[in-house]
Amino acid sequence: MTRFTRWTALSGLVGSLVLGAAAGADEESIPVDKLPAAVLKATKAKFPTAKIEEASKEVEDGVTTYEVELKVDGHAVDLALKADGTILEIEKEVAVEKLPEAVKATLAAKFPNVKIKKAEEITKGDTGAVSYEVIVGSKEVVLDAKGKIVKTEEDDDDDEKEATPAKSK
């Protein structure tokens, strides 16, 4: 390896480490006992029987959000809250058969013969609006409660058959 090649490789390695650290600097895992009292109180009020699994603190655009991962009756639930305990969003794991019929019908029409890997019900804290985030093949699909697709993007885990929407006839 020439001196230039070594310096180039070293510079690339250091640069990627620095950029990687900066990108992940906004979210940090925190011990549950370090959550603000208002966040703990709101979490326990909403889900009194839940077991808190993990917690993290995220700062984005100067706004601090706490994310709390829970187990409620054997199901995963993620809460996003402000420091004052205001619930911003609730994500609940749901069984595919429990999805609304309109959501299942849309998914069957747009992604025939593709397995649904995971489904979550998402409730916005301020409005109570409900949507569904579903992993279908290699796609992450967000649908409103009436089954209308709001957003589709590639899922990070694409270990099964690729989901491509069926063409309309």
Out of 14-23, 58-67, 105-114, 145-154, least confident range: 14-23
Q: How confident is the model at residue 11 (pLDDT cuts 50, 70, 90)?
A: very low
Whether 82 and 99 map to the same domain: the answer is no
Confidence (pLDDT) at 98: 94
Query: How many CB atoms lie under 10 A from the CB of residue 75?
Result: 13
Task: Assess whether 67 and 44 both reside in one domain.
Answer: yes
Split at pLDDT 50, 70, 90, the class of 94 is very high
pLDDT at 90: 97
If phi > 0 it is left, if psi is from -120 to 50 it is alpha, else beta; for residue 13 that is: alpha
Q: What is the CATH number of the domain that holds 161?
A: 3.10.450.360
Identify the domain containing residue 37 by its residue range: 26-89
Q: Give dist(CA 5, CA 52) in Å, integer.
A: 49
Q: Give the mean pLDDT of the chain.
A: 83
Give domain status of residue 2, yes or no: no
Question: For 141-158, how does the pLDDT look when each residue is reduced to its tens digit (9 = 90+)?
Answer: 999 999 999 999 987 754
Q: What is the reported pTM? A: 0.73
Phi first, then psi, for residue 121 (nearest 5°) are -95, 130
Residue 85 sits in the same domain as residue 104: no
DSSP conformation class of 95: -
Q: Does position 19 have pLDDT exceeding 50, yes or no?
A: no
Domain count, the chain: 2
